[in-house]
Amino acid sequence: MLDLKPNDQTIALVHPSDSAYYVASGSGVIADLNSGERMPLVEGSMVHIDKGDHYRFEAAATAGLKLIGGPCPADPQLYAHLTTAGEVV
C-alpha cells in the first residue's frame, strides 16, 4: 500500500511490467512524466500504467492518498535490498 500524506508525492516510478492501482481513500493526481499530463484520482478510482511509463503519484493538499497495487509481476528492483547470501529473497 502507498500511503501519502497531504501534499506528499512519490519518487519518479518506472517498472518493466504493467502496473495497476486502486485508490482506497483520499485524492490527488497521477503525473505522466513523459507527456506532462496530470490525471485526477479520487477514492474508488483505478489506474493502469503500461510497462516502461514514467509516472508519479501526488496527494492533494487537503487529503492524503492511499493506493493499493503495483507492478505485476512484481518488479525485482523493489526487493533488491532484501538479500541473503547474494540472492534476492
Work out how many domains the chain is built from and give that number. 1
Taking alpha carbons only, the member of 55, 54, 59, 47 closest to residue 22 is 47
Residue pLDDT, tens place only, 31-88: 999 999 999 999 999 999 999 999 999 999 999 999 999 988 777 777 677 766 655 5
Provide the grid cell at 57: 503519484
Domain hosting 66: range is 2-88
Which pLDDT value is given to residue 75?
75
Tell me, what CATH number does 25's domain have? 2.60.120.10
Tabulate helix, strand, coil % of the chain (nearest 5): 5, 50, 45
